[in-house]
Structure 1
Amino acid sequence: MAWNRQVLRVNLTAGTCTSEPLNMEWADQYLGSRGLATKYLVEETDPKVDPLSPENKMIMSTGPLTGTMASTGGRYTIVTKGPLTGAIACSNSGGFFGAEMKFAGWDMIIFEGKSPKPVYLYVENEKAELRDASDLWGKTCWETEETIKERLQDPLVRVSSIGRAGENEVLFACVVNDLHRAAGRSGVGAVMGSKNLKAVALRGTKGVGGIKDFPAFLQATQDAKKVLAENAVTGQGLPTYGTQVLMNVINEIGALPTRNHRDVQFEDASKISAEAMHEKRESDGKTQLITNAACFGCTIACGRISQMDKDHFTVKNSPKYWDASGGLEYEAAWALGAANGVGDLEALQYANMLCNEDGMDPISFGATIGAVMELYEMGVLTKEQIGIEAPFGSAEALAKMAEMTATGEGFGKEIGQGSARLTKKYGHPELSMSVKGQEFPAYDSRGIQGMGLTYATSNRGACHLRSYTVASEVLGIPVKTDPLTTEGKPELVKAFQDATAVFDAAGICVFTSFAWTLADVQPQLQAACEGDWSMEKLNEVGERIWNMERQYNNAAGFTAKDDNLPPRLTTEPAKVGPAKGLVNGLDKMLPEYYQIRGWTQDGVPTKETLERLGL
C-alpha cells in the first residue's frame, strides 16, 4: 500500500487535531493528491460556499508515489474553493514538504473552520498540535520558516507558510514551502490566511512503507528514470536552462503575449531569457544563474538558484536580497517581463523574490500589472491613483508595485484583487486577460490555437498545466501538431487534460510528461499500489477527476458562458509572426470538445457520462 491510509483532520475553530482512516474506496476511484482531495472537498463543502469563509475547507494532499523512489515524487497539492475564481482550486507544489508529510505517516491534512487567533500546525509523525503563531503574523514566508526551524531546533523540519499577501487576503496569494517552491495559483494562500493559519511544519521519520511489489517497483522506477535521462527535454534542456528555455522559442513562433496581449512578440525577449541568465554581467562579471536545483526525488532538476547584481537599483540598499535565492522560471519571467514590456532581467528577479518572500503568484501578479499599465497608458488610471508613473516597460513601476502588493499598501490593495476585478472597477473588463477570473500564463492562443481551448475549459481558470498542448503544438511531444490550426485540438486537449489529472493524482511532476506517457507511469503505480491499475483504468480515473471538477464548478454557478476568452484574442488578429492575421478559433473547437467529452451543448456532463464514470 503506497498510501499511509491516514488522514489528519484539523478543526481550527475548536483547536483539535484528529486522525481518521483514508477512504480506500475513494482512493481506488481517484488515486490520490488532486483526485482524492477533490473528492473529499466535493463531499464535504457546499459548492456555493464563500471561499474566504470558515465553511470552506482547505486540503493538503499527497499521492501514492509521493515520497517514494519514483522520479519527481515530491509533489503535494492544496485543494479548496478558490477566492480568485470562485471555482475549484487545486494548486500543486514541489520541494520537500510533500514527501515529509508522507514520511510523517499522513496522506492528507484537512483544515476546517477558522482559528480565533493566528496558529501554526506542528506535526511530528503521529503527534499533531496547533501552536500559537501570533508573533509570526506579519512575517514573510522566509522569516516564518527560519523562525519555526530555530524555535524547534530542527533544521530538517519542512515548512509551508503564507506571507503578508496571504494574511491580507490578496486573491492570488500562494502557499510557499522550502523558501521558493509554491502552491502558486488560484489564491490558496488567501484561504489559508482567512483561517488564521500561518504555517504547517512537518517532521517525519517513518519513511514510506508497504510498496505492494518492491522488486517490480524498483525495476519500473529505474526504467522510467532512464526514459527521462535519455529525453532531450528532461535530460538536457530543463536541467541546463530550466523552463526558461522556452522564452526565445515561444517569442520566435509569435506566441509570447506582450504588453497585456497587445502584441505576440517581445523585442527584448532575449534580454530576459535563459541564455541571458547564463551571461556574465558587465557590472560584476557574474552570471545571474548560479546553479540548478531539484525537488525531492527529482532526476530532472529544472529549478533555478540565482543571485542579483548588488548595484541594481532594486537591491542596492537591501543586503538581504544579495544572497542566492530561487531564480526565474519561464512563467514568472514572462509575467513580470514581456507581459509588461519590461526587459530588465534584474528587476524581474527582484519582483520574483518578493513573490516568493511574501507568497504571491507571479503569473497573476505580473499579468495584473500588465492590465494596470494599459489602463495607465489609456489615461484611465493616473499617477495620483497608482502612486507612481506606470507606463509599459517601466522596471521601476514593476518593482514598486510588487512591494505595494506584498505589503497591501496604497494601490497595492487593488492590484491584490487580480485583473478581472480591477479592470471591471475601472470600466474596462475586456482588458483582463483571464478565464473565470484567473490570469493567462505565457502562451498567446492566437499563435498556439490549442491553448485557447485549454484556457477556456480549464476547471481552475486559465491554466497551462491542465493541458499543456504546447508540448505537441510547439515541441512535437508526443506527436507534432500544427499550432496555427484548430483541427484535432479538441481531442488533443481532452487527452492532455485526462492524462495530466493522473500525473497530478499520482503525486509526480507534470514535467515528466515531456518524456513519459501514461504507459511509463502505469507500471510504477501497478507495482506500488494495491489493486488493478491498468491503462484502461488510469484513463478512466483521469476522466473521472476532470468531470468531478466540472460538476463542482457547474454547481457553483459556472456555465458554458464561462468557457470563453477575452475579446482581444478572438477579435484582434496577431500583428506579426507566423500567426499574423489570426485570432483564436475557440468558437470552432468548443462545440466539438463538449461532444467528445460527453457533455451537452451547454457544457454539462450527460447522464450517460456520469453513469459510465460512476459519478
Structure 2
Amino acid sequence: MSWAGKILRVNLSAGTVTPEPLNMDWARQYLGSRGLGTKYLVSEIDPQVDPLSPDNKIIWATGPLTGTMASTGGRYTVITKGPLTGAIACSNSGGYWGAELKMAGWDMVIFEGKSPKPVYLYINDDVAELRDAADIWGKSVWETEEHLKTTLQDPLTRISGIGRAGENQVLFAAVVNDLHRAAGRSGVGAVMGSKNLKAIAVRGTKGVGNIRDPKAFMAETFARKKILHDNAVTGQGLPTYGTQVLMNVINEVGALPTRNHRDVQFEGAKDISAEAMATPRASDGKKHLVTNQACFGCTIACGRISKIDETHFTVVNKPQYWGASGGLEYEAAWALGAANGVNDLECLQYVNLLCNEQGIDPISFGATVGAVMELYEMGVLTREQIGIEAPFGSAKALAFLAEETIHGRGFGKEVGQGSKRLCTKYGHPDLSMSSKGQEFPAYDGRAIQGIGLAYATSNRGGCHLRGYTIASEILGIPVKTEPTATEGKPELVKAFQDATAAFDSAGVCIFTTFAWSLPDLAPQLQAACDEGFTVPELEKIGERIWNMEREFNNAAGFTKADDSLPRRLLTEAAKTGGSKGTVSHLPEMLPKYYAVRGWDPEGRPTPETRARLGL
C-alpha cells in the first residue's frame, strides 16, 4: 500500500513520544504529505490559535511515493498554522530527509505543546526519543547538522532543523534539511523555535517494501522517468541551468518584478542570471556555478552548487563561506536581486548562504528589503534607523540587513517581521507586495494575469507553487495561454491549484508537472497504493484538499477581502515590456473564480460543494 501505516505523536510539554496507526480512511481521501498532514492539523487545532503558542501543532509528513523509486520521490511537507500570515502554512522540501523518515517506517510526525527546554527528536527505525539540545541551541543549521552527525556517529543521519532565525522567531524562518534544502515559506521555522524544538535527526534502514504491485510499479516509474528525460524543460533546461533559466526569460517578457514592483524589467537581470552563473568571472576566471545536484530519487537534478569569489567584500575575511555550497535558484536570485535592484551576483550568493545557514526564506526576506529600500528612498526610513544607507541597488545594504535579520539585531528585528507588519508600522501598508501577509515571488501579477489571481487566492498567501500558471502563460505547458488575457484564467488557476495539491500530497516534486500530468501520476499511485487512484479521483482529491485549506482559513478569520493584491498592481500600470499599460484585472476574475470553485459570492464553499467533496 506504500504508506508505512504509522505516525509518531510527540508531546513536547510532557516529553512523550507515542506511535499511532495511520488513519487509512483519511489516507485514501487525502493521499499523504500536504493533504493528509493538513487533515490531521485542521482536525486537531483551533483555527483561531496563536501560531506561536503551545496550542498550535506542527507536522512533518511524507507522501505514499516518498522514499520509493518514483522520480523525485524524496519530498516531505511541514504543516502548521503560519505566524507570518495566520493562515494554513504548508511548506514543501526535497533533499533526502523525507525519504529517510519513510525508510525508518514512519509516514508522519506530529508535535504538540512546548518543551520546557531545547530538545531534538532522534529517530532510528523503531527507536524514537526526545534528547537534550542545549549544546546545539544557538547554532546554525550547518553547525547543528555537523554536531549531530558526529555525536550520533552516523554520517548517514538526515537532519531537518532550524538555525538562529527560527530560534529568534523571525516570522519567515525556514526549516532546513541537508544543508540547503528548505521547507522555506510561511514561517514554519518560527513555530519550531517557539516549541524549543531544534531538529529532527532520522536514520532509516527499513526501506519502503510494501508496494502493492512491485513489477507494475517498476514499469510505470521507468516509463515516467523517460518522459522526464525526453522533455525540454525537465530533461534539458532544468538540469543545465536550474530554475535560474527563467531570469532572462521572465525579464524579456516584462514580468520580472523590480524595485518592489515599481518596474517589471531589471536592467541588471543578465548579471544575476543562469548564464552569468555559468560564465567564468573576470576576477579569477572561475565559474560561479560548480555543478548541479539532485535530491533523493530525482532524475531532473535542478539544484545548484556554487562557489563564491573569495575576494568579494562580503566574504573577504570569512573563509567559512569559501567552499562550494547551495547555489542560487530563481526565486532567491530574484528576491535578493531584482526586487532590490541589486545586480551583484556574489553578494546574492553570500546572502543566499546566510539564508541556508540560519534558516530564512529568501523570498520573504528579499521582498521585505525591497520595501525597506523604497521607504528609505521616500525618506520615511533613515540611515540612523536602518543602520546603513539603503537605496535600491545597494549590495552593502542587502548584506548588512541579512546579517542583522538572522541574528535578530537592530533594524533586522523589524525586517524579521515581514513586509506587511513593517510597512504598516511606518504608515505605508500598500508598499508590502504580499497577499495574506506573504510576499510575492518572482512574477508580476499585472504582466501575467493568471499568476496574479493565483497569488490572491492562494491558501498560504502569495505563492507561485500553489498554482504555477507560468507553465501555461509563459512556457506553453500544457497549452499556451496569453499572459495578459483574463478569459479562462479562473478555470486555469483552479485546474493548476487542484493538480498541484495532488502532486504535493503524493510525495513527488512539483517540477515533474512540466512533463507529467495527472494521467502520469495515477498509474504510479495505482501500482504503489491502490487501484482506486484514477485520474478523476485524483482531481477530486486535489479539489478536496484545496477546499479543506480554504475552510480552515475562513474559520481562522479570513474573508473575501483577503483575496487581494496590493494597490500598486491594481492601479499602477506596467511601464515597459509586453504588458506595458496593463494592471491586474483581479476584480474581474475573482467572482468567476469563486463560481468555478463552487463557492458563494463571499468565497465560502457552498453546502453542495462540501457534500460533493465529502468535507
TM-score band by shorter chain is over 0.9
The 2-side partners of 1:457 and 1:181 are apart by: 26
Sequence identity, in percent?
A: 75
Q: What corresponds to 1:190 in structure 2?
A: 190
CA RMSD of aligned residues (A): 0.4
User: Residue by residue, what CA displacement relative to the aligned partner does 1:73-128 show, whole Å, maximum 9, x if unpaired?
Assistant: 00000000000000000000000000000000000000000000000000000100
Q: What corresponds to 1:513 in structure 2?
A: 513
Q: What corresponds to 1:378 in structure 2?
A: 378
Q: How does 1:266-345 map to 2 (within 5 A)?
A: 266-345=266-345
What is the one-letter code of the residue matched to 2:9? R
What is the one-letter code of the residue matched to 1:304? R
Q: C-alpha displacement at 1:139, in angstroms?
A: 0.5
The 1-side partners of 2:176 and 2:284 are apart by: 31
Q: C-alpha displacement at 1:569, in angstroms?
A: 0.2
Q: What corresponds to 2:583 in structure 1?
A: 583
Q: C-alpha displacement at 1:220, in angstroms?
A: 0.5
Query: Residue 413 in 1 paired to residue 401 in 2?
Result: no
Structure 2: gaps (5+ residues): none
User: Residue by residue, what CA displacement relative to the aligned partner does 1:460-487 show, whole Å, maximum 9, x if unpaired?
Assistant: 0000000000000000000000001111
Q: What corresponds to 2:211 in structure 1?
A: 211
Q: C-alpha displacement at 1:331, in angstroms?
A: 0.1
Q: What corresponds to 2:527 in structure 1?
A: 527
Q: C-alpha displacement at 1:530, in angstroms?
A: 2.8
User: Residue by residue, what CA displacement relative to the aligned partner does 1:354-374 show, whole Å, maximum 9, x if unpaired?
Assistant: 000000000000000000000
Q: C-alpha displacement at 1:531, in angstroms?
A: 4.7
What is the one-letter code of the residue matched to 1:499? A
The 1-side partners of 2:116 and 2:564 are apart by: 40
Q: What corresponds to 1:202 in structure 2?
A: 202
The 2-side partners of 1:30 and 1:472 are apart by: 26
Q: What SS class does the counterpart of residue 145 from structure 1 fall into? A: helix
The 2-side partners of 1:440 and 1:537 are apart by: 31
Q: How does 1:554-573 map to 2 (within 5 A)?
A: 554-573=554-573
The 2-side partners of 1:16 and 1:324 are apart by: 40
Q: What corresponds to 2:137 in structure 1?
A: 137
Q: How does 1:104-503 map to 2 (within 5 A)?
A: 104-503=104-503
What is the one-letter code of the residue matched to 1:169? Q
User: Residue by residue, what CA displacement relative to the aligned partner does 1:586-610 show, whole Å, maximum 9, x if unpaired?
Assistant: 0111000000000000000000000
Q: What corresponds to 1:594 in structure 2?
A: 594
Q: C-alpha displacement at 1:209, in angstroms?
A: 1.2
The 2-side partners of 1:210 and 1:175 are apart by: 29
Q: C-alpha displacement at 1:321, in angstroms?
A: 0.2
TM-score by length of 2: 1.00
Q: What SS class does the counterpart of residue 159 from structure 1 fall into? A: strand
User: Residue by residue, what CA displacement relative to the aligned partner does 1:558-613 show, whole Å, maximum 9, x if unpaired?
Assistant: 00000000000000000111000000100111000000000000000000000000
Q: What corresponds to 1:80 in structure 2?
A: 80
Query: Residue 11 in 1 paired to residue 33 in 2?
Result: no
Q: What SS class does the counterpart of residue 578 from structure 1 fall into? A: helix
What is the one-letter code of the residue matched to 1:539? E
The 2-side partners of 1:537 and 1:268 are apart by: 46
TM-score by length of 1: 1.00
The 1-side partners of 2:54 and 2:300 are apart by: 39
Q: What SS class does the counterpart of residue 579 from structure 2 fall into? A: coil
What is the one-letter code of the residue matched to 1:46? D
The 1-side partners of 2:376 and 2:158 are apart by: 42
The 2-side partners of 1:87 and 1:302 are apart by: 30
Q: C-alpha displacement at 1:509, in angstroms?
A: 0.1
What is the one-letter code of the residue matched to 1:372? V
Q: C-alpha displacement at 1:283, in angstroms?
A: 1.2
The 2-side partners of 1:45 and 1:331 are apart by: 32
The 1-side partners of 2:224 and 2:392 are apart by: 45
The 1-side partners of 2:501 and 2:65 are apart by: 14
What is the one-letter code of the residue matched to 1:298? C
Q: What SS class does the counterpart of residue 348 from structure 1 fall into? A: helix
User: Residue by residue, what CA displacement relative to the aligned partner does 1:286-333 show, whole Å, maximum 9, x if unpaired?
Assistant: 000000000000000000000000000000000000000100000000
Q: What SS class does the counterpart of residue 461 from structure 2 fall into? A: coil
